[in-house]
Chains A and B, each alone.
Chain A
């Protein structure tokens, strides 16, 4: 063993060093306390033998300094002393000494004390090794949990389906938690999305989450095969079945989970959901720009073994935004120190409901960062945001859509299809002028009816009747009469201001009126053909 010996008495030091070397120890010598302390700061020694009485720094001072130092391994300290006073020795032990050697040295005592030191150091090393291994194992477990979370628990719905567009954000608090989400698609027009949160954190919560998720899949399959005639099982049936499967086990395990199961049906424009104690769904209505919290329907799963599950239905319009989120979001602290809460979060959403989903989630992330203080890493943070787009097919002669980036083409395609009916007798030039007029009108609506908004719901109705081809655009937002638009400058010095004059040139009549809370712009073109 490498041993540091510090003693100002050269003769007694020499005897000690000789003895240690004869036992095959590697000895480093310091002639006073300060020198010993210098050496100790450069190199760790497992065993240090210090004379108590030394100039500069005495043995007790060095001893206290060693104990105050943050070290990766333990240093065993033996004090060399002539003192045999009980009080002194107690003071030395208090100061961090492990053992004593009495002067003059007795070789037999030295051997015995070294054996004790060795035994203690070996035990200490074994404890440290075990601790390291435990820590490693715990880290592995956390990583495993994180993998479970990522692969098994967190399956956000596809970015786009026929009915909805989605984006999601999940930030676990301690690498792993019991937040989960998944989806089922049923044909082209129905998609189910569910999100849940298991009480607690870590691998146990993740395992319960994974169990419940697969349980829900089993329930869906079982109900689908049992009730082929009845069609798709309703959300309330599904959750009732899940409850039968997992509730007793959750109660046994002493845990519970909140779950929100939502079905989007684009054929009926309906959201049907069961919400078991999960934070309330926020529905931002595209038409009014107002956020509404949707009531929960049930207590969390695992609370009661006799719960009867209810479902609620809400009508949706294209462009409506729906938010599913964990309590990590509503528990965020605002700058004034208050909790965000659901109502304030809903209010926050009102100003941002029109944003493209990725931009919206960036804002949510910013809200989270701003709400965290110091070393706080926050709670589990999950947010799934869904833009309901509807089928975007024409029903009853009306195309209803959320007009955002890339949507105007859909309006043109619809009008083109109706106007291309040979019976109307429009020439290709007339059709392209009509489409240009519709484009200008729709793009005007998108840009100006809700200033600085990135989308707006529009209803388009194109119909030929009584000698006219009529295109109606119905939309919310600011009132604007195209008749009031100034005449455009046509000398090339201005880049804008053509829109309204183009509309007037493309069609025979432009009319504008306020209908209820909405605006109605009507473009009309005379039909040449027989209809």
Chain B
């Protein structure tokens, strides 16, 4: 599991692209390990989930953990490019109300 940090755009937020087709029980530890060092690089983040075709509640828990960590430091986290499967999960547990979700990285950065 790797996470590619794109350059900070508009001087506002660091876009992180998750390079895995799933975020689930089996790889959530790897996700946290890859994510941790990146959380010091900026205050504002956009996580690009375009590659992630499948997410389970453990993956969702990891996203919530990121959100809480970033918010506690006064930062923001936005998500973009969710597959329909992942969007379905967020809606099912009403996490679409907890996260700011955008269709594209550009849309997430524009606001």
Contacts and interface: CB of A to CB of B under 8 A. Distances in A.
Q: From DSSP, what is the main secondary structure of chain B's interface residues?
A: helix
Nearest to B85: A432
B2 interface: no
B75 interface: no
A409 to B, nearest CB: 7
- Greatest chain B CB density within 10 A among A406, A492, A501 is at A492
Interface in B35-62: 54, 56-58, 60-62
B54 to A, nearest CB: 7
B22 A501 contact: no
- Greatest chain B CB density within 10 A among A409, A436, A499, A506 is at A436
A429 B98 contact: no
Contacts of A408: 24-26
B88 A432 contact: yes
Nearest to A490: B94
Interface in A369-415: 405-409, 412
Contacts of B34: none
A429 B57 contact: no
B88 A443 contact: no
A440 B24 CA distance: 10
B8 interface: no
B93 interface: yes
Interface string A420-452: 000000001100110110011001001100000
A345 interface: no
Contacts of A446: 25
Contacts of A74: none
A420 to B, nearest CB: 14
Interface residues of B, number: 25
Contacts of A488: 93
A439 B61 contact: no
B56 A407 contact: no
B92 to A, nearest CB: 5
B65 to A, nearest CB: 5
A505 interface: yes
A409 B22 contact: yes
A66 B77 CA distance: 81
Interface string A490-510: 111011101101100110000
B24 A439 contact: yes
A495 B61 contact: yes
- Greatest chain B CB density within 10 A among A408, A446, A494, A506 is at A408
Contacts of A506: 92
A492 B64 contact: yes
Interface in B68-87: 68, 84-85
Contacts of B95: 490, 492
Nearest to A429: B88
B3 interface: no
- Greatest chain B CB density within 10 A among A407, A432, A496, A502 is at A432
A502 B57 contact: yes
A496 B89 contact: no
A498 B56 CA distance: 10
B109 to A, nearest CB: 22
Contact of B89 (A406, A447, A502): A502
Q: From DSSP, what is the main secondary structure of chain A's interface residues?
A: helix
A495 B54 contact: no
B60 to A, nearest CB: 7
Contacts of B88: 429, 432-433, 436
A492 B67 contact: yes
Contact of B56 (A405, A433, A443, A495): A443
B25 A490 contact: no
A435 B84 CA distance: 13
Contacts of B84: 428-429, 432
Given A429-B84, A446-B25, A502 B54 contact: no
B56 A436 contact: yes
Given A412-B54, A496-B61, A501 B93 contact: yes
A412 B54 CA distance: 10
B57 A440 contact: yes
Contacts of A440: 56-57
Nearest to B63: A495
B19 to A, nearest CB: 17
Contacts of B98: 491-492
Contacts of B25: 408, 439, 443, 446-447
Contact of A490 (B61, B67, B93): B93
B65 A495 contact: yes
A382 B85 CA distance: 48
A433 B62 CA distance: 20
A443 B95 CA distance: 20
Nearest to B56: A439
A498 B64 CA distance: 12
21 contacts: A408-B26, A409-B22, A428-B84, A432-B88, A433-B88, A433-B92, A435-B85, A436-B54, A436-B56, A439-B24, A439-B56, A440-B57, A443-B24, A488-B93, A490-B93, A490-B94, A492-B68, A495-B61, A496-B57, A496-B61, A502-B56
* A-B residue pairs, 5 tightest by C-beta: A492-B98, A495-B61, A443-B25, A498-B57, A432-B85
Given A405-B26, A443-B56, A490-B95, 13 more contacts: A409-B22, A409-B26, A428-B84, A432-B85, A436-B56, A492-B95, A492-B99, A498-B57, A499-B57, A502-B57, A502-B89, A505-B92, A506-B92
